[in-house]
């Protein structure tokens, strides 16, 4: 039979292959539709259903990312959305590769709270990110994720979050390492990290088409980062368990690296967790402060009000305490509003670990999310929706004179994010402490 098929000739073979692929596509599409009906849900508006139509969306997103215009692309996805589902769309390249884009706050709250166990990073995300972050908290699910979270949590207990002085201590240590001669500091690590992040973002955006992205400089950059980390990992692993136990009881000397070394003697475990922490903490405070100062420069009255609150609380010479930071509500509101407009993580994604749904609009059916579907949400796009918030920062801050949120949605979302972030309090405290110094 096989010889008879080969004897048909190239044209017939090509037609046969096409018919087989088309039949498989039709059958899988019908199966997906059946699964959706079984959930009692519907699809969000579909922008693409095959690779020929879907590929241009991914390429356009990659181009816009290179131009720093990804928000423009993301917002553009919803321009033709119907009133029944205005903030959620679907782009599929096959029945097994569905991408659901959303900027609906109810969807984000569902993913991060009420149906938290239905979503995770998924196998595809792990495959894309594991060369960089390995098996760390940002790339794993289930027990591996739980173990990573358990490793990180002790470093963010209340006593450590309240230790504001640590920021000043390590800032002075950093300043002492900068050459007084003014010579250029070796930027190899920073340049490597920047390149790895750039390529990693492209790999994530292009998703099923990530094989199109050249990875030579990406792999080289990862080797630079690993070479930088290696001596510190070796030093930690060289310490005997008794010394690690002693360090863990010290408020000043204990580090995250020591904490991991107590848990595992595997260098790869230390490498993966440290890489994840370096990524999580890279430039988040610098970016937030830069945007805050940028916005305040446009509103002198708000800057004056903020400065007066800080001066009346801590004066011109005293460093703020943790209690001072909590009492400066206008400072907190200013940073919250900055993070609304310029969130540190503007885009994120989750994979469905089982068949589930996202809530529909009032009076509309829920949206079906099947196992392995990818849900991409943008806090940057969502928190700039004028139907949720005023367009200008000044309007929100004027409302803070009466301690009033529009819809109180930002507070709800921020609370939801804490569910998945044991270290949330540290950057918040650092932002407030540094902003207090700047103002």
DSSP for 236-272 reads HHHS-HHHHHHHHT-TTT--HHHHHHHH---HHHHHH
What is the pLDDT of the chain when averaged over all its residues?
A: 84
CA–chain centroid gap for 252, Å, is 30
Helix axes 267-281, 142-152, angle to 10 degrees: 70
* Pair of tokens at residue 224: 């630079």
More confident position, 256 or 105: 105
* Pair of tokens at residue 409: 């949605």
The answer on pLDDT for 121 being more than 90 is yes
For residues 360 and 362, give the distance between their C-alpha atoms in angstroms, rounded to a whole number: 6
Where exactly are the structural domains of the chain? Answer: 1-38, 39-438
The answer on pLDDT for 415 being more than 70 is no
The answer on pLDDT for 436 being more than 70 is no
More confident position, 163 or 273: 273
Over residues 147-174, the mean pLDDT reads: 77
CA distances from 416 to 185, 383, 426 (A): 40, 14, 17
More confident position, 254 or 360: 360
CA distances from 352 to 99, 146, 187, 371, 372 (A): 11, 18, 40, 5, 5
pLDDT at 362: 92
Over residues 344-365, the mean pLDDT reads: 95
pLDDT at 431: 52
Q: Which fold has domain 39-438?
A: Cytochrome p450 (1.10.630)
* Pair of tokens at residue 341: 């407009």
Total Cβ atoms within 10 A of residue 271: 19
Name the band, by pLDDT with cuts 50, 70 and 90, for residue 13: low
pLDDT at 241: 86
pLDDT at 8: 57
Burial 51-64 (b: 16+ CB within 10 A, else e): eeebbebbeebbeb
Name the band, by pLDDT with cuts 50, 70 and 90, for residue 404: very low
For residues 52 and 48, give the distance between their C-alpha atoms in angstroms, rounded to a whole number: 9
pLDDT per residue over 265-318, tens digit each? Answer: 999 999 999 999 999 888 888 899 999 999 898 888 889 999 999 999 999 888
pLDDT at 250: 66
pLDDT per residue over 198-216, tens digit each? Answer: 999 999 999 889 999 999 9
Name the band, by pLDDT with cuts 50, 70 and 90, for residue 4: low
* Pair of tokens at residue 193: 């990290």
Strands (E), 12-85: 46-48
The answer on pLDDT for 92 being more than 60 is yes
Helix, coil or strand: residue 284 = helix
For residues 400 and 380, give the distance between their C-alpha atoms in angstroms, rounded to a whole number: 21
Provide long-range contacts, Cβ within 8 A and 24+ apart, for 392-396: 393/295, 393/299, 393/337, 393/338, 393/341, 394/299, 394/302, 396/333, 396/337, 396/340
Task: Name the residue with tokens 């509309």.
Answer: 364
Taking alpha carbons only, the member of 395, 407, 388 closest to residue 86 is 388
Residue 264 dihedral angles phi and psi, to the nearest 5°? -145, 145
Name the band, by pLDDT with cuts 50, 70 and 90, for residue 246: confident
* Pair of tokens at residue 175: 């300043």
pLDDT per residue over 32-73, tens digit each? Answer: 888 999 999 999 999 998 888 999 999 999 999 999 999 999
pLDDT at 237: 93
For residues 149 and 75, give the distance between their C-alpha atoms in angstroms, rounded to a whole number: 33
* Pair of tokens at residue 206: 């292009």
The answer on pLDDT for 262 being more than 50 is yes
Determine contact, residues 118/135, Cβ cutoff 8 Å.
no
Total Cβ atoms within 10 A of residue 295: 20
Burial 209-234 (b: 16+ CB within 10 A, else e): bbeeeeeeebeebbebbeeebeeebe
For residues 347 and 381, give the distance between their C-alpha atoms in angstroms, rounded to a whole number: 9
Total Cβ atoms within 10 A of residue 105: 21
Sign of CA pseudo-dihedral 396, 113, 377, 424: positive
pLDDT at 409: 39
Total Cβ atoms within 10 A of residue 370: 20
pLDDT at 407: 35
Plot region of 404 (φ>0 → left; ψ -120 to 50 → alpha; else → beta): beta
pLDDT per residue over 123-135, tens digit each? Answer: 999 999 999 999 9
Determine contact, residues 90/44, Cβ cutoff 8 Å.
yes
Over residues 76-85, the mean pLDDT reads: 94
């Amino acid at each position: 039979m096989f010889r008879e098929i080969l004897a048909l000739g190239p044209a017939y073979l090509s037609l046969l292959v096409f018919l087989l692929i088309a039949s498989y596509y039709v059958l899988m599409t019908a199966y997906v539709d059946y699964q959706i009906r079984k959930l009692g849900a519907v699809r969000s508006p579909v922008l693409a259903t095959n690779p020929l139509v879907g590929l241009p969306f991914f390429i356009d997103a990659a181009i816009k990312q290179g131009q720093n215009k990804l928000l423009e692309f993301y917002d553009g996805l919803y321009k033709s959305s119907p009133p029944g589902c205005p903030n959620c769309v679907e782009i599929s390249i096959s029945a097994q590769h569905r991408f659901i884009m959303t900027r609906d706050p109810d969807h984000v709250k569902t993913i991060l709270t009420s149906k938290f166990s239905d979503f995770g990073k998924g196998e595809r995300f792990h495959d894309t990110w594991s060369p960089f972050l390995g098996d760390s908290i940002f790339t794993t699910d289930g027990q591996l994720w739980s173990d990573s979270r358990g490793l990180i949590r002790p470093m963010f207990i209340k006593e450590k979050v309240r230790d504001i002085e640590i920021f000043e201590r390590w800032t002075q240590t950093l300043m002492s390492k900068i050459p007084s001669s003014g010579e250029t500091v070796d930027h190899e690590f920073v340049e490597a990290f920047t390149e790895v992040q750039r390529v990693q973002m492209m790999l994530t955006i292009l998703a099923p088409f990530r094989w199109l992205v050249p990875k030579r400089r990406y792999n080289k950059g990862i080797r630079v980062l690993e070479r930088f980390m290696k001596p510190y990992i070796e030093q930690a692993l060289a310490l005997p368990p008794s010394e690690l136990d002693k360090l863990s009881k010290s408020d000043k000397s204990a580090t995250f690296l020591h904490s991991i070394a107590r848990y595992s003697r595997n260098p790869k475990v230390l490498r993966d967790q440290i890489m994840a922490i370096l990524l999580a903490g890279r430039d988040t405070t610098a970016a937030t402060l830069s945007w805050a100062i940028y916005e305040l420069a446009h509103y002198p009255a708000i800057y004056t009000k903020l400065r007066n609150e800080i001066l009346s609380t801590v004066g011109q010479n005293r460093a703020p305490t943790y209690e001072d930071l909590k009492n400066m509500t206008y400072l907190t509101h200013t940073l919250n509003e900055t993070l609304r407009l310029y969130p540190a993580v503007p885009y994120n994604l989750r994979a469905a670990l089982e068949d589930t749904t996202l809530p529909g609009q009032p009076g509309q059916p829920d949206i079906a999310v099947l196992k392995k579907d990818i849900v991409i949400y943008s806090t940057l796009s969502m928190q700039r929706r004028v139907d949720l918030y005023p367009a200008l920062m000044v309007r929100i801050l004027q409302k803070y004179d009466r301690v009033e949120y529009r819809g109180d949605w930002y507070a709800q979302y921020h609370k939801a994010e804490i569910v998945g972030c044991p270290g949330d309090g540290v950057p918040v405290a650092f932002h407030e402490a540094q902003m207090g110094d700047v103002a």
